[in-house]
Chain A
Amino acid sequence: MTLIGASGSGKSLLLRCLNRFIELFPNLHVSGEINYRHHALNEWNVSQLRCRMPMLFSRPSLLPTSIYENVAFGARVHGYQGDLDALVQSSLQQVDLWQALKNDLGKPALHLSLEQQQRLCLARAIALQPEIPLLDDFDTAATRRIEECLYHLKQTYTVIMATHHLRQVARISDWTAFLALQTNSQGQMVGQLIEYAPTYLLFQRPEHPLTGEYVSGRF
């Protein structure tokens, strides 16, 4: 599922609400309700919740250590009891990095290209065995390799991403939510959900005129 909309429309805020990342911002508060697997978010252990919904950002945030350690770190911290080598291999295979890096696992991760670093971050999230990876403007360059990676991942995971790349959304997303800044009754500009629909419907037969204008590039 993808969140689209102009900057400031609330895409990232909504993502940050889903794994309670928003609680790290003391000046923000939230009203309303979010249930994950029929349990209110505050019933979940926050650490467990963020393992199930890891968040990835536009800039790769790698540890200054080896490729192997970058993938294994989170799983080890969270007490993974299985075969760590197999987990690293499987995670790297899912982002199509295994063949390229299998002989260099001990080398520094920061020496990889930016695009490989992004995929390595994805592998690290996969090693946590998540259910819903949250991608916030993750593929800023809209590279073909990462798009292929995301397309492959959505066969296994329920991926939620916020992005500005509408063509990419049309190619790989099943459902799309469009948010836009609207003026409320107090004259304040507020992000609102305008339309949420299967992607092909939202792009080809949008119900709201504003959605049509946005997906056709008129604003």
Chain B
Amino acid sequence: MTAVDPIAVAVGQDALVEVRQLSVFYRNQPLLSDVSLTLYPRNW
């Protein structure tokens, strides 16, 4: 259902959200570890 190849259009676009090595802890117990991802805007 995607009209264009999202990989192709994402190259060179400004990142909207960048997540770098995100970890979440509950009382020092890790719940989520080392998440990294980049999100580009839907419309540009």
Chain A residues with CB under 8 Å of chain B are: 1, 10, 13-14, 17-18, 22, 27-38, 131-132, 151, 154-160, 171-172, 174-175, 177, 179, 184, 188, 190-193, 196, 198-200
Contact = CB atoms under 8 A, between A and B. Distances in A.
Interface of B: 1-2, 5-7, 14-27, 29-37, 39, 41-43
Contact of A32 (B2, B16, B20): B20
Nearest to B42: A158
A22 B30 CA distance: 14
A19 to B, nearest CB: 10
Contacts of A154: 42
A15 to B, nearest CB: 11
Nearest to B18: A35
24 contacts: A10-B35, A13-B24, A13-B31, A14-B32, A17-B19, A17-B24, A27-B26, A28-B24, A28-B25, A28-B31, A30-B25, A31-B21, A31-B23, A32-B20, A33-B19, A33-B20, A132-B17, A155-B43, A156-B42, A160-B39, A190-B31, A192-B33, A193-B34, A193-B36
Main secondary structure of the interface of B (DSSP, over half): strand
Given A36-B17, A193-B34, A198-B5, 15 more contacts: A1-B39, A10-B31, A13-B31, A17-B24, A28-B31, A31-B21, A31-B25, A32-B20, A33-B21, A34-B22, A35-B15, A35-B18, A158-B42, A193-B35, A199-B2
A22 B24 CA distance: 9
B17 to A, nearest CB: 5
